[in-house]
Amino acid sequence: MSSDFEAYEQDFGTLTAEITNKIGRIPKLAGEEKTQLVLNVDKQLEEVRELLEQMDLEVREIPIQSRAMYNSRLKSYKQEMEKLEKDFNRERI
């Protein structure tokens, strides 16, 4: 059960690292290149949202005695997602 959650965690880590890298590149670009990167990041953020939903569903299936630990991990991932979205919105302007 928790192995699915851990696989989602790995995907989350990979995606958020890519997004962070791309957000850092946005201010250095202009025109079509910037537009394409913004669209790409937007799409990846949507993937992360879906991943968080999957993780949330997975946590609900975990036995109660282990659930608290996974819930706190999920909560920190959601906070990281909010920070990424704020950074993205700030940089794309």
Tell me the pLDDT tens digit for each residue of 62-93: 999 989 999 999 999 999 999 999 999 999 87
And the tokens for 65?
């005695």
Q: Per residue in 15-43, is it b (16+ CB within 10 Å) or e — as a string?
A: bbeebeebbeebeeeeeeeeeebbeebee
And the tokens for 40?
């790409």
Average pLDDT score, the chain: 95
Nearest to 79 by CA among 58, 54, 57, 48: 48
User: Is the pTM above the cut of 0.85?
Assistant: yes
For residue 87, what pLDDT is reported? 96
And the tokens for 1?
């059960």
Place 1 in a pLDDT band, splitting at 50, 70 and 90: low
pLDDT over 80 at 46, yes or no: yes
For residue 92, what pLDDT is reported? 86
Query: What residue type is assigned to position 1 of the chain?
Result: M
